[in-house]
Structure formats: C-alpha cells, structure tokens
Amino acid sequence: MTGLNLYAIFWVPAKLQNGTATSLTAHYESEAKQFLADYPYHGIANNSTQYSSKKAGVPTYFAGIGGLAGSVADTNPYPASGCTDSAPLGNCRTDARLQAEISKVMTAQTWTPGLNKIYIVFTAKGEGSCTDLSSTSCAYIGYCAYHGNFGSTTNPTIYANMP
C-alpha cells in the first residue's frame, strides 16, 4: 500500500442499543484525526516495515506516505444488538453490520474503495462488537481492534474497527 489515504468515521449516534446516551469527546476525535494526519511522518509508522519485502535488494513497503484524507461524524443509530459482547452489556454489533455502515457512509460521502484507502471506524464508549453472530471473538475480551476487507478482491474496501 503506497500513498495510503486514511478515512475516519466516528460512529456515535445519540444512544446505545440499551438506551444509554453515547459519548465520544471532541478532544478524543480531535486527537484521533491529528494522529491519522501525522501518521506517515510519525515514528510509529516505522512499525510498517514488518510488512515489507525486497525486490532486487530494494525494500518495498506496503504502507507509505499518505495521511488523513477525510473524516465524518456518523450519527446513524446503531442497529439492534446482534451479538453478545460480555463487557458492554446489551450493546454489540457484528462485523457484517459494521461493513454495512461503512458502505452507507462511503456512499453518502462519495468515498470509493481502493487498495490505498483504509476506513477506520471509531465507536462510542460502551459499544461492543463481535466478528460473528456466535459471539466467539468480541471486543474488550478477544481483541482491542481489528482490520479486514470486503467487496471486490481487486478493488476492496479495507477497514479497521476501533471499538
């Protein structure tokens, strides 16, 4: 991945599935956007060298210069709880529902998929997630975040879940 474009989606509706008011501070959103904007020039980007290969002795890195290409505050309601994440009782969405929301936001923002784009979804405090309907791998217990892709293999939507 070269010329990496990062898109931040702050999915924070008014309420969680259990009716509790949501929260994500303006300071958190500001810091997250600044980190993404600065990422290509920050020392933490050196971690990306673990994803490198060599062609004719020259390193080829799959994460390169780019940065924050867009961000949006998504206030669409969370879908009904579709999984059971034991940490945030009653507030959980599956990976399939996350992918559906990313698609909805991409359409609304006229953002497109691509091999040099990553859509990073931040959710409100207390919103859990599981990778599947059987709730075998869930946030706060099984992972802190994850990334994946969906759609076309030649032009995929690459995303990260940041519960």
Q: How many angstroms separate the first and last alpha carbons of the chain?
A: 24
Write down the mean pLDDT value for the chain.
Answer: 84
Pairwise CA distance, residues 19 & 46, whole Å: 42
Q: Above pLDDT 70, what percent of the chain?
A: 81
Q: Give the pLDDT score at 43.
A: 57
34 strand-pairing partners: none
- pLDDT score, position 104: 97
Model confidence pLDDT, tens digit, residues 89-123? 678 899 999 999 999 999 999 999 999 999 999 99
Confidence of residue 55 (pLDDT cuts 50, 70, 90): low
Pairing of strands 92-94, 117-123: unpaired
pTM of the model: 0.84
- How far CA 23 is from CA of 16, 26, 73, 112, 162, in Å, comes to 9, 9, 12, 28, 14
Which string of DSSP letters, residue by residue, matches 41-84? GSGGGGGGGGGEEEETTEEEESS-S-EEEEEEEE-PPPPSP-S-
Q: What are the Cα distances from residue 149, in Å, to 11, 40, 69, 105? A: 18, 21, 19, 16
